[in-house]
Chain A
């Protein structure tokens, strides 16, 4: 498109230069003046083309920046979705360990879950959801459940309310699914 425009401008410019030369008084229609006119036209044409090129490069640079930003946002979303999917698996694993009374296994996994939940808190695309009281409660309950498991293991006393932890985990899983869907389908970024 730009090449076509450049050719049109070139031909129009050449035409008007020819017309200008044509209407010059007969005494001025010398080879030297003709060469000067052609030279001036090429100079102006060169400057115009240069300017157009600069504008074009600027636009290209802007488009590249937009594309890179889009790609980064998409990449960030993919990573966030992948982390959330991992969290769902962690919830299932913790529940499995609790059903089998393996508190050590549950403790290791609940630590990973807490880390992922805190990471999610800092995801700008989920800021509306993570600012909710429900999400804060999930982080707090995960922290307390982690300490309950820890204390139970250290004190060698099985006084952990596994059913309550499983209930907290179910709530956490529902929230994670909500976040995942928000990123997958409602994120207009």
Chain B
């Protein structure tokens, strides 16, 4: 059971990320993302079934000296898992710009232009001499 403060933190992070007001970066652990603030860093990662055989979302807090000062392990049977999982998904989508990419697809698909790129013609493969 997470404290109100941590639940508030997750909600705030979610809102900021959803409104595209948070710049997440990749961290040195694969599948982990980090958000740098002036007083430290927050990282979010997710393990699908390889943590005690249950999916879990990890939220770590680092202070300004780079020390990990707290880690929240939100497992699938925790009440807050849905919230934490939504945060992770939102962060991942924000980092990879999933929505922007799909919007770009729609823009192209809704236009009257011919879409797609032709593969290089066999003539182009000839050597220029």
Contact between chains at A140 and B31 (CB < 8 Å): no
| Contact call A168/B50, Cβ cutoff below 8 A | no
Chain B residues 30-85 with CB under 8 Å of chain A are 30-32, 34, 36, 40-41, 43, 50, 60, 62, 64-68
B68 A136 Cβ-Cβ under 8 A = no
Tell me if A120 is interfacial: C-beta within 8 Å of chain B: no
The answer to whether the Cβ of A87 comes within 8 Å of any Cβ in the partner chain is no
Contacts of B32 in A (CB 8 A): 148
B31 touches A159 (CB 8 A): yes
Q: Tell me the count of chain A residues lying within 8 A, CB to CB, of chain B.
A: 24
Counting CB contacts under 8 A, is A137 at the interface? yes
**Complex contacts, A139 vs chain B, CB 8 Å:** 64-66
Q: Do A157 and B27 have beta carbons less than 8 Å apart? A: no
For A114, list chain B residues within 8 Å (CB). 66
Q: Would you call B30 and A140 a contact (CB within 8 A)? A: no
* Contact yes or no, B40 A144, CB < 8 A: no
CB-contacts of A18-75 with B (<8 A) = none
Interface centre among B32, B43, B65 (most CB of A within 10 A): B65
Chain A residues lying within 8 Å of B28, measured Cβ to Cβ, are 141, 144-145, 148-149, 160-161, 164-165, 168
Count class of interface residues, chain B: 20 to 34
Number of A-B contacts defined by CB within 8 Å: 59
Query: Which residue of A has the minimal Cβ distance to B60?
Result: A147
**Assuming A114-B66, A137-B36, is B30 touching A144 (CB within 8 A)?**
no
- Which of B26, B29, B36, B50 sits near A140, CB closer than 8 Å? B36
Is the pair A152, B29 in contact by a Cβ cutoff of 8 Å?
A: yes
Docked-complex contact A141 and B66, CB < 8 angstroms = yes
Complex-state Cα separation, A118 to B66, whole angstroms: 9
In the complex, are the beta carbons of B66 and A159 less than 8 A apart? no
Task: Please measure, in the bound complex, the distance between the C-alpha atom of A140 and the C-alpha atom of B62, giving whole angstroms.
Answer: 8
Interface residues of A (CB under 8 A from B): 114, 118, 136-137, 139-149, 151-152, 157, 159-161, 164-165, 168
13 contacts between A and B (CB under 8 A): A136-B64, A140-B36, A140-B40, A140-B41, A141-B66, A144-B27, A144-B34, A144-B41, A144-B66, A149-B28, A152-B29, A161-B29, A165-B28
